[in-house]
Homo-oligomer: A and B are copies of this chain.
């Protein structure tokens, strides 16, 4: 971490939080991941992530575009043709994101084991 420890990285003072917040939602990482290899159209994304609603897909893409992670290219045809592509920035984000996924993959068993072994501290009396 590069933030100073003494300072409290609260909501608006911390640009890092501000950026990372976008990754917290349910769909962003999934969309990023789908676009890693190839450019895709709205409908193609919708097919690959088929439990996403059009509303959420649109919103997710809009935010990604707004943050400069995805570029949107439209062809003035009828019917419309719109392509979404990861930008360089988007690809660069994918690097640490994949690091996270790697960790999750590597440690899922440890986490599951911990969860299973966990006993709530409700009836706890002494140690």
Count residues of A near B (Cβ-Cβ below 8 Å). Answer: 66
Chain A interface residues toward B at CB < 8 A: 1-3, 5-11, 15-21, 23-26, 29-30, 33-34, 36-37, 48-51, 65-69, 72, 74, 76, 89, 92-93, 95-105, 107-108, 110-115, 117-118, 121, 126-127
- A23 vs B126: C-alpha distance in the bound complex, in angstroms? 22
- Give the copy number: 2
Question: Is A111 a contact partner of B37 (Cβ separation < 8 A)?
Answer: no
- A126 vs B80: C-alpha distance in the bound complex, in angstroms? 12
Question: Is B23 a contact partner of A100 (Cβ separation < 8 A)?
Answer: yes
- A105 vs B115: C-alpha distance in the bound complex, in angstroms? 32
Question: Is B67 a contact partner of A115 (Cβ separation < 8 A)?
Answer: yes
Q: How far is the CB of A76 from chain B (nearest CB, A)?
A: 6
